[in-house]
Amino acid sequence: MIVYGTRYGAAASTSEEIAKILRQEELEVRVVNAKQEKVKGITEYDLVIVGSGIQIHRWTKEPEKFLQKFQKELAKKKVALFVCCGSTQPLDNKTDKAEAIKNAKTKYLEEKAAKYHLQPIALGLFGGVYNYNKVPWLFGKFMEAIKPQLEEAGVPQTEPGLYDTRDLNAISGWAKELAQIVQPFP
Ligand SMILES: Cc1cc2nc3c(=O)[nH]c(=O)nc-3n(C[C@H](O)[C@H](O)[C@H](O)COP(=O)(O)O)c2cc1C
């Protein structure tokens, strides 16, 4: 099962990409948008993947609530966490990329796992999307300020107004490794 929370769509399409790969590896997958659906139980799942987009250093509420609610059961299961975030591709010249990635992994993934006493079998730090079709008024200035930086960094616009910093190969590679752990001899 994949449980995710998203604000701009990156964690949703990342979850679908992971699900697609797992299905290609003959696994049955349920994908849950935690904002729209409440999970009642997790007993039947061999692997639980929980993911979120990041905004101002925070996960979305719902997948975090899921981690909290099921933490005891999750501690006995195979769990993987992922986030979609901007830190994989810093947009200013001052930030060191390796340092940004290391900090994001610690803050968004390792600390989250520790908070809920989990020992995930995998942590996925993926890029994100900057969606100019869905800018909350609060962040309008920030989004306008980073637009030239996105252009300058050569971040592709995968749809009009949608700059995508994700590496889809990294996402599918991560999913394939998970499939092998869950089902080593298909
Ligand atoms: C207002 C705003 C704040 C953001 N804050 C952060 C941040 O603190 N750290 C980070 O790594 N990425 C940050 N990002 C980049 C997002 O993580 C990226 O847009 C991602 O796609 C969000 O995931 P979602 O589309 O699933 O919601 C921010 C993006 C926006 C628009």
pLDDT in tens, 32-60: 999 999 999 999 999 999 999 999 999 99
Q: Whose CA is nearest to atom 12 of ligand 1?
A: 86
Q: Does the pLDDT of residue 169 top 70, yes or no? A: yes
Q: How many other C-beta atoms are found inside a 10 Å radius of the C-beta of residue 111? A: 10
Q: Does the pLDDT of residue 186 top 70, yes or no? A: no
Q: Is 6 close to ligand 1, i.e. is its CB under 6 Å away?
A: yes
Q: What is the pLDDT of the chain when averaged over all its residues?
A: 96
Q: Determine the distance separating the centroid of ligand 1 and the alpha carbon of 1, expressed in angstroms.
A: 24
Q: What mean pLDDT do residues 149-159 have?
A: 94
Residue 64 exposure: Cα atoms within 13 Å on the Cβ side: 15
Q: What mean pLDDT do residues 24-29 have?
A: 95
Cβ atoms of 47 and 77 closer than 8 Å: yes
Q: Does the pLDDT of residue 184 top 70, yes or no? A: no
162-164 and 129-131 strand pairing: antiparallel
CATH number at residue 106: 3.40.50.360
Residue 143 covered by a domain: no
Residue 37 covered by a domain: yes
In the block, tokens 């195979």 appear at: 78
In the block, tokens 């009009």 appear at: 160
Residue 140 covered by a domain: no
User: Which range marks the domain in which residue 100 is found?
Assistant: 2-128+165-182
Q: Whose CA is nearest to atom 9 of ligand 1?
A: 57
Q: What mean pLDDT do residues 111-121 have?
A: 98
- Number of folded domains in the chain? 1
Q: Is 58 close to ligand 1, i.e. is its CB under 6 Å away?
A: no
